[in-house]
Amino acid sequence: MSSLDSLYQQIILEESKARRGGDLPNDLLAGNDLPENVGQCHQLNPVCGDEITLRIETEGDQVSGIHWAGDGCSISMASASILSDMVVGLNRAEVDALMSNFREVMRSRGKIQADEEILGDAAALSGVSKFPARVKCAMLAWVAAEDALNQTR
Amino acid sequence: MSSLDSLYQQIILEESKARRGGDLPNDLLAGNDLPENVGQCHQLNPVCGDEITLRIETEGDQVSGIHWAGDGCSISMASASILSDMVVGLNRAEVDALMSNFREVMRSRGKIQADEEILGDAAALSGVSKFPARVKCAMLAWVAAEDALNQTR
Amino acid sequence: MTESATHNTHLPLSDAEVLRIRNDFPILETEVNGRPLVYLDSGATSQNPLSVMEAEQEYYEQRNSAVHRGAHTLAVEATDAFEDAREVVAAFIGAQSNELVWIQNATAGLNLIAYAFGNASVGKVSEAAERFALTAGDEVLVTEMEHHANLIPWQELCRRTGATLRFIPIHDDGTLDMAAAATLLNENTKVLSFTHVSNVTGVINPAAELTAMGHGVGALVVLDACQSAPHLPLDVKALDVDFAVFSGHKMLAPTGIGGLYGRAELLDAMPPFLTGGSMITKVTMEEAEYLPAPQRFEAGTQPISQAVALAAAANYLTETGMDRVHAWEEFLGQRLVRGLEAIEGIRVLGPASGAPRAGLAAFEVAGVHAHDVGQYLDAAGIAVRVGHHCAQPLHRRLGLNSSTRASTYLYNTSADVDAFLASVAEVRGYFGVDGTPA
Amino acid sequence: MTESATHNTHLPLSDAEVLRIRNDFPILETEVNGRPLVYLDSGATSQNPLSVMEAEQEYYEQRNSAVHRGAHTLAVEATDAFEDAREVVAAFIGAQSNELVWIQNATAGLNLIAYAFGNASVGKVSEAAERFALTAGDEVLVTEMEHHANLIPWQELCRRTGATLRFIPIHDDGTLDMAAAATLLNENTKVLSFTHVSNVTGVINPAAELTAMGHGVGALVVLDACQSAPHLPLDVKALDVDFAVFSGHKMLAPTGIGGLYGRAELLDAMPPFLTGGSMITKVTMEEAEYLPAPQRFEAGTQPISQAVALAAAANYLTETGMDRVHAWEEFLGQRLVRGLEAIEGIRVLGPASGAPRAGLAAFEVAGVHAHDVGQYLDAAGIAVRVGHHCAQPLHRRLGLNSSTRASTYLYNTSADVDAFLASVAEVRGYFGVDGTPA
Ligand SMILES: Cc1ncc(COP(=O)(O)O)c(C=O)c1O
Ligand SMILES: Cc1ncc(COP(=O)(O)O)c(C=O)c1O
Ligand code: FES
Ligand code: FES
């Protein structure tokens, strides 16, 4: 597989079109008056100007819903889509573990092999780590989710 | 003769100590209320910060006196001294001719041989033209004199 | 002297001659991702010929020294090299050497102008400087196609002085709305600043006409020549602009150097911007007096070797012939646009083929984000620029966030353009957005 | 790797080792006026080793590109080189890489700070930026020994804001009057800016002590590290300064690059100075939002290859060992002063031999103007600096207009110093002011 093909794996191209969770309505973008169990975060990728606004809903210790709005490259959209699918249902500790594993793989410059057991579909994003300029794309939704989750109680 | 010796000819070293014309009193430095036949000019060499204030007195078409105050390197002091000695007694046209010949020699980067017939003692300054950084030193008093003379009628 | 000396400057440039030119640019022989590099990003930064690198190397091996300061031989030689460079680069744009100020880059040059105007607007300044002062009610006029470098410094100047920033809108094809320009210019317009050539649409603005219109209302006219100085014969006197800026790294020279042209009379009247050593006459603990231009604007140790290198670059371009460079890039630019127009799902920003444009083309690929386009091309060894190209308002006006841009220079062949077009034609298929199954 | 890699960093530097170091500096082998060059003007600008020139050449031949902008491979490599350089140079002064801003030279860095403070003082600014704002009643404190670069920007800032500039006087031996410093610092002092090492007297100021005193009254402390970063182990965190600036060309690197250190917390709160591309997040025709530091302060295309070269220079110095460099220059400095003190008619500026000083000495020759002294030495191949060294107020305080300065670096031998001293001993005789007939 060429390194381009490892970057744009079939699942990435599909997820970038699926945009699961990409249904945050416009009138919620401001994120005012959030209840305690909801957190929301806006992230901008300064390199390209792409943006995402991501909302996380929790029930007790668990993530019960993710909704986002935004536009960006296929990597960033696929990453948001996969994240939305994976994180709902996890508890905080599980999300934390997932996040730090994902971040570690992304920053490894191709040196750390993704563990599909841990990362699931997100393992398909591991090709990104060989393209330092695109790591921000893959991380965008994750950084937003981490921050949003930290706002909830 | 080394090029250093051609720069610092004996006559230069002597004239730099003689400082002929270097007798402008402090209270005249401001140059206020000059009569029509007197011109005065202050020049600063920005490279070194050295300054000269030179006053020219005329009688009709002729330069009748030169007085200056200032401090600087041996080249600038010698040049002011030689100029003061040479220019008194000349008429405007003669001063102009002398000035432009001197300027031409100075700017020639050593290519134009000074004509002692025209330049007299100032010909001893021709070694300066091989030292572009020092041409301003030699010209300082001359530029002041030219400007001062232009102010008189 | 390198290959370039053998150019036959009577004939237009051709692929054959460009192949000879390429010998002077070692980086063009490198491979990227196992494919020969096709460099189509000169609009961002250009590559350096050997003669430019050698000029800088020679400087450091033979006469590196502080300039305008020392009496010793190296200092004299460095000063000569530095001031000779000023003469060469000034002549390259049709200016006198006392009208050329060295700057770090065009951005710094535009900031210099804006800050000098700002400095004329506060506290006691000289009478001569008063003409640069701005207050509430005054207007600064730019265009909707500006690079951020020719926009934000004016926003900030207006914020500091209370003046108002206005802009001339563009038509859908990227050209300037000249009727609007005529309406917007008025006696309150103190500054008109515009780009000569758009770095996104390739539009070449009617600089002489705009300048005359600006002068008609008494405005000072500033030209952003970043995309023109490297690519076409530029004569600031013929255009009659008051100020112009350009960057060396876009014209075969290293980073860290650029030029600011200012009419002698204006430069001498303008207050300083950066202050420090080498730009003063007399300094006390309380105040300082400043040298005339250009030194007044050159505080501290200047980018000396970079100035020497920029002069070598200007010489290289002059020897090649700027009219020939311009004609060749016009040819490449049209080839780019015609080729892109023929590919399904591509929308070219700016004028259609046939209409005048510089040797660059930015475009949108339906269904594929610009960064993905760029990534695909990179895998084929083709270097293009993606993003907003520091022109967010222009992109917004054209209804998008980002685009992909291919930009040529004198070392690009038609084969470069064709390789690029062939790759672009594959993009939508690769990303599965051309209707065929991926 | 060049010769330097073979240095034995356990031993102090010696003439033998300096002779090996000199192999890395081709310019030191040149002749001037038929005599081998004795370069004693590193205080003005230093020479570049081969490894620095090679780093820049390699950059242009293999990865020259715009940084932080493109998705293509060259752009990624250029960005890596650029950011790796930031890490190296930041570490060199004990900072984190997000605390290092690239600047054209130290002068630009000091202006950046002064203008950013000025920008915090007009119009609406963020709350975070308010701590930098100056108004009438506020004071900026410098010293009487400052280079113009650390004086005039503050004069201009005070002119624009109505603040008052004060200065700490010096003693006759050039050292700072610390008692006066204690008196002058007060709760109105918003900024204390001073040079670490005087470029004229060689005095090394008690930087940590002054910084603590400045912080004691709540002032922001700025360090001019132009003459310290190249010559001694510098740790900005240990000194606890808030800002520091230095120039690459004084530390084995090319012109056109320098560094501004700022404490992360301060840099992030400070308003921008130069504006344009690459320092923004969102731009409309009306306004712009800015990136965090260091990018916020790096508008437009940066001196990329020069940053890469500066990192190579920092590596060269680190490999040699800054403590060894410092010790060697202390030795050379004492040799200079002792030698000068032994020559009749010479007055050394600054501390007498035995007292601490950097590896440089400025002096007056009774009866001979500094430019004539410099010219005489130049004829012997000895390059020194003459004039006011951009420190007019200091010279005036010491009762003269100009002086001659010999300044050393890691590539100078004791033989260089001795050749210089022998020539100086001849000067008064040559100009006929030593009492003997000329
Ligand atoms: C103490 C000091 N400060 C500031 C400067 C200014 O440095 P630059 O000219 O590189 O901006 C110098 C060097 O000339 C210096 O010695
Ligand atoms: C039209 C235009 N103006 C200004 C600039 C800014 O140039 P620099 O980044 O060299 O300051 C550029 C290049 O990016 C440009 O294309
Ligand atoms: S390019 Fe913008 S998020 Fe990927
Ligand atoms: S050095 Fe000042 S006038 Fe000669």
Q: How confident is the model at residue D127 (pLDDT cuts 50, 70, 90)?
A: confident
Ligand number with the minimum distance to the CA of C301: 1
**Is the omega angle on the peptide bond into residue A35 within 30 degrees of 0, that is, cis?**
no
Let me know: does A63 contact A85? Beta carbons within 8 Å. Answer: no
Q: Please return the burial class of A75, using the count of CB atoms within 10 Å of its CB with bins 0-12, 13-18 and 19+.
A: buried
pLDDT band (50, 70, 90) for residue D269? very high
Rounded to a whole number of angstroms, the distance from the CA of A4 to the nearest CA of chain C is 7
Indicate if ligand 1 lies below 6 Å from the C-beta of D121.
no
Distance C247 CA to ligand 2 centre (A): 7
The answer, yes or no, to whether residue C70 has pLDDT greater than 80, is no
Cα angle for residues B58, B59, B65 (degrees, 5° grid): 45
pLDDT, one tens digit per residue, over D384-425 is: 999 999 999 999 999 999 999 999 999 999 999 999 999 999
- pLDDT value of residue D354: 97
Express as a percent the part of chain A with pLDDT over 90. 90
Q: How confident is the model at residue B2 (pLDDT cuts 50, 70, 90)?
A: confident
- Give the closest residue (by CA) to ligand 2 atom 15: C226
Residues ≥6 apart with Cβ < 8 Å to D76: A131, A132, A133, D70
- Judged by CB atoms closer than 8 Å, whether chains meet at C281 and B46 is answered as yes
**pLDDT surpassing 50 at residue B9:** yes
Say which DSSP state C46 is in.
Answer: P
Whole-structure pTM value: 0.96
Q: How many helices (H) and strands (E) does chain B have?
A: 6, 3
- C26 pLDDT above the threshold of 50: yes
Q: What is the pLDDT of residue C9?
A: 64
The alpha-carbon gap from C127 to the nearest alpha carbon of chain B, in Å, equals 22
Chain A: residue nearest C428 by CA? A13
pLDDT tier for residue D192 given thresholds of 50, 70 and 90: very high
Query: Is residue D403 within a helix (H) or strand (E), and if so which, with residue range?
Result: strand D403-407
| Binding site membership of D149 for ligand 1 (Cβ less than 6 Å) | yes
Determine the atom of ligand 4 nearest the C-alpha atom of B140.
Answer: 3
The predicted complex's ipTM stands at: 0.95
Choose the residue to mutate in B42, B44, B45, B71 for probing ligand 4, maximizing ligand atoms within 8 Å of C-beta: B45
Lowest mean pLDDT among A44-48, C17-21, C101-105, C423-427: A44-48
- Domains observed in chain A: 3-151 (3.90.1010.10)
Considering the candidates D75, D91, D125, D390, report the single residue annotated as catalytic.
Answer: D390
For residue D369, give the ligand 4 atom closest to its CA.
1
| Arithmetic mean of pLDDT, C11-21 | 93
Distance separating alpha carbons of residues B95 and D142, to the nearest angstrom: 49
Residues 6+ apart with CB under 8 A from C283: C289, D148, D151, D152, D392, D393
Task: Write the CA distances from C216 to C190, C191, C208, integer angstroms.
Answer: 11, 12, 12
- H-assigned helices in D31-72: 50-62
Which pLDDT score is estimated for B47? Answer: 84
C164 to C168, C397, D340: CA distances (angstroms): 13, 21, 62
Q: How confident is the model at residue C4 (pLDDT cuts 50, 70, 90)?
A: very low
Which of C42, C45, C102, C107 has most ligand 2 atoms within 8 Å of its beta carbon, as the pocket-test mutant?
A: C107
Residue D68 pLDDT exceeds 90:
no
C-beta of A148 in contact with ligand 3 (< 6 A): no
Confidence of residue D4 (pLDDT cuts 50, 70, 90): very low
Which amino acid appears at position D242 of this protein? Answer: D
Please say if the pLDDT value at position C1 is more than 50: no
* pLDDT higher than 60, residue C3: no
Q: Is the CB of D228 under 6 A from ligand 1?
A: no
How far apart CA C310 and CA C307 sit, in angstroms, is 5
Annotation says D226 is catalytic? no
Confidence of residue C251 (pLDDT cuts 50, 70, 90): very high
C288-290 vs C280-283, strand pairing mode: antiparallel
CB contact under 8 A, C151 and D71: no
What does the pLDDT look like over C271-322, one tens digit per residue? 999 999 999 999 999 999 999 999 999 999 999 999 999 999 999 999 999 9
**Are A and B neighbours with ≥3 CB pairs closer than 8 A?**
no
pLDDT band at B91 (very low <50, low <70, confident <90, very high): very high
Helix or strand run (H / E) with residue C385: strand C385-387
pLDDT in tens, C314-338: 999 999 999 999 999 999 999 999 9
Q: Rounded mean pLDDT of A64-92?
A: 97
Average pLDDT along chain B: 94
Q: Which chain C residues are closer than 8 Å to A49 by Cβ?
A: 387-388, 392, 401-402
Provide the pLDDT for residue D393: 98
The pLDDT value given to residue D194? 98
Mean pLDDT of chain D: 95
CB D159 within 8 A of CB C123: yes
Radius of gyration of chain A (CA): 15
| Count of other CB atoms within 10 angstroms of residue A122 | 26
Residue D43 has pLDDT above 90, yes or no: yes
User: Tens of pLDDT along C129-178?
Assistant: 889 999 999 999 999 999 999 999 999 999 999 999 999 999 999 999 99
Query: How far is residue C34's CA from residue B104's CA, in Å, rounded to a whole number?
Result: 62
Q: Report how far Cα C200 is from the mean position of its chain's Cα atoms.
A: 12
Catalytic residue among C390, C400, C425, C433, which? C390
Please give the domain boundaries of chain C with CATH numbers for all domains.
3-49+321-430 (3.90.1150.10), 56-318 (3.40.640.10)
Q: Is the pLDDT of residue C125 over 90?
A: no
pLDDT above 80 (res C94): yes
Closest by CA position to C147, among listed C203, C90, C101: C203
Check pLDDT > 90 for residue D122: no
CA distance C327 to B90: 61
Specify the pairing of strand D360-365 against strand D346-348: antiparallel
Q: Judge contact between C55 and C311, C-beta under 8 A.
A: yes
Statement: residue D11 has pLDDT above 80: no
Read off the pLDDT of each residue in C392-408 and give the average, rounded to a whole number: 97
> Which residue, among C250, C257, C238, has the nearest Cα to C360 in the 3D structure?
C250
Q: Is the CB of C226 under 6 A from ligand 2?
A: yes
- The predicted model gives D36-49 an average pLDDT of 97
Residue C159 near residue D309, CB atoms below 8 Å:
no
Please list, in sequence order, all residues whose beta carbon lies within 8 angstroms of the beta carbon of residue C38, skipping any fewer than 6 positions away: C380, C381, C382, C383, C416, C419, C420
Instruction: Give the number of beta-carbon pairs within 8 Å between C and D.
Output: 309
Ligand 1 touching residue D195 (CB < 6 A): yes
Q: Of C246, C302, C250, give the one whose Cα is nearest residue C276.
A: C302
Instruction: Report the range of poorest mean pLDDT among B83-87, C168-172, D62-66, D127-131.
Output: D127-131
B142's enclosing H/E stretch is helix B135-151
Over 50: is that where the pLDDT of D113 sits? yes
- Are C113 and C243 in contact by the 8 Å Cβ rule? The answer is yes
Selection from C16, C58, C39 nearest residue C312 by Cα: C58
